[in-house]
Structure 1
Amino acid sequence: MTQPLHADSLRAVAPDSPAPARTMPAAPRARRTHPWLTPLTPVAPRTRWVLGLGFFVLFFAVWGAVTLGGLVPPTFLADPMTMGREAWLLFTEYGFLGDIGMTVWRVLGGFVLAAVLAVPLGILMGAYKAAEAFFEPFVSFCRYLPASAFIPLLILWAGIGETQKLLVIFIGSFFQIVLMVAVTVGGARRDLVEAAYTLGANSAGIVKRVLIPGAAPGIAEILRLVLGWAWTYVIVAELIGSSSGIGHMITDSQALLNTGQIIFGIIVIGCIGLVSDLLFKLANQRLFPWSTIQ
């Protein structure tokens, strides 16, 4: 019975015949783009500073052009020169430095109190699912309640003194920190947990030696973010029933239609927040150099 001839057999019979050429598709050429336009490409620290300062320069230039050019009436938006004069008056005649100190103290007091209580509870919820099932519904419910809605009740309960303002910041920060810390701790790598169990660690050792060290950089980043939210809560607290603080100054300036002082107060809040954010980042990099969160 005759068997069919294969291609190898045909090449063996006619060795001089050329083999069919195999054409490979050409690899697409990668387009060269500027490093700044490439996703996730890091930027040099000096370049980062130059770009950040460049935006502020552009912002003040546009602001000056709009106000000094007469496009916006001074009653609605003061120009940078007027704001500078009002800032000088605030520091020299109205004791604005004391207002800044009071606001910073309130932010730090309420935030530290919230962090001291929220971080351990968040670690407990992230490590033990029974604790998470018990606390999470109530914490999630309270997380959606605006802190400003509690101000009338807090005035009734604690008056208009410092306790009321600290409690507003505490309520606004506590529940956010708890849930975010719980999610960070609960997202620990399972292989590390199993390896610790294999090496003889118990449940307390897993929490102390695996979960907490692994989640520490993330917890520090959470605290940095929530500190920024605490600044919004303190201004809301100072707008009502306060005799000192940046929020109190803004309220008085609004009654006098002094937009220069209002804008300067807002800028001061942003500057203090920016400095605290940079200090937090620097501390996190020193404490957790192995972390990928930068």
Structure 2
Amino acid sequence: MKKRRVRLFQIRGELSKKGYYAGVAGIFILFLALWTGMSYGGLVERTFLPTPLQVAEQFGRQITSHDFWVHIGMSVYRVTMGFVLACIIGIPLGVLAGTFKIAEAVVVPPTEFIRYMPATAFVPLIMVWAGIGESAKIAVIFVGCFFQLVLMVADNTRSVSNELLQVSYTLGAKRRQVIDRVLLPALLPDLMNTLRLVIGWAWTYLVVAELVAANNGLGFAIMKAQRFLNTDVIFVGIIVIGLLGLLTDRAFAMLHKRLFHWVEGAR
């Protein structure tokens, strides 16, 4: 027993799939047990903490509602557009900043400064500049992702082995060839992991984005339910956002594993 315990808590030790999934199931069961005990036991008023059964029933009603699927579709659209726009602009800037010192001097300092400003602080300015339409909601998600993405991509680029680049020059490669055929392919595995993290942040900014005069979307549905203390609807909205985020995370993880199966530790 002692040896087994030591192996379980060994730094970077191995764990069987059975043990891993047992741990995952255990933590969810524990969370559900605490939730059940607090709601059914009367520790928290059900107006503020609905029972798991109430949430499950509400989930069933919502998932069969056309309006709820409209909310999901609009939220997915906003997250996707904000994320894609951040990638289109942020990835090239990050690669430049990680490749050339002059680009780093121009890009990194202001990005480092702005990234500490919360995206919510930009909402009034975004409403002034972009109005209250779809562009404003997408802009909030873009701001939440862009500055972090630029810095992370720059770090990914700098992490490519300098010896690898020097060997390419030794073999006669020109600067453009080193970038296209050596640097970019070498940073792609880390870049995929970075995108996987950033899409997660995009989902966390969804509710903030849908505070901007929205009349649909999961964030709007959550805020509308909050006005009437429909906490079961709030729980359903939060759970659905979590599930959508988990699906996108797993999609990136599977894509990483398929494209870069040769990378040690790929998930």
Shift of residue 165, structure 1, vs aligned partner: 0.6
Aligned residue number for residue 92 of structure 2: 120
- Superposition deviation, residue 92 in structure 1: 4.0
The one-letter code sitting in structure 2 at the alignment partner of 1:55 is I
Shift of 1:46: 4.1
CA distance in 2, matches of 1:70, 1:94: 34
**Aligned counterpart, 1:130:** 102
Give 5+ residue unaligned stretches, structure 2: none
Unaligned runs of 5+ in 1: 1-30
> Normalized against structure 1, the TM-score is what?
0.85
Partner of 1:241: 213
Equivalent position of 2:71 in the other structure = 99
Match of 1:53 among 7, 19, 25: 25
**2:3 equivalent to 1:32:** yes
Percent identity, please: 42
Deviation at 1:47, TM superposition (A): 3.5
Greater displacement, 274-283 / 44-53:
44-53
Letter in 2 for 1:32: K
Q: Deviations over 1:185-231 (max 9, x none)?
A: 01221221221111111211221222211111111000000111111
The 5 A counterparts of 1:1-294 are 32-34=3-5, 35-92=7-64, 95-292=67-264, 293-294=266-267
Give the AA of the match of 2:125.
Answer: L
Q: How far, CA to CA, are the matches of 1:153 and 1:184 in structure 2?
A: 31
CA contact (8 A) 2:50 2:231 kept: yes
Task: Give the conservation status (yes or no) of the 8 Å contact 2:137–2:212.
Answer: no
Greater Cα radius of gyration, structure 1 or 2: 1
**182-191 or 34-43, which moves further after superposition?**
34-43
2:132 partner SS: coil
Q: 1:44 to 1:116 in 2, by over 3 A?
A: farther
Aligned length: 264
TM-score, length-scaled by structure 2: 0.93
Cα deviation digits, residues 33-54 of structure 1 (max 9, x gap): 4432221123233433332233
Counterparts of 2:27 and 2:170, CA distance in 1: 53
Name the stretch that deviates more: 121-130 or 31-40. Answer: 31-40
- Amino acid corresponding to residue 3 of structure 2 in structure 1: R
C-alpha distance in 2 between matches for 1:146 and 1:274: 24
- The structure with more helix, counted as a fraction of residues: 2
Cα-Cα RMSD: 1.6
Alignment-mate amino acid for residue 172 of structure 1: G
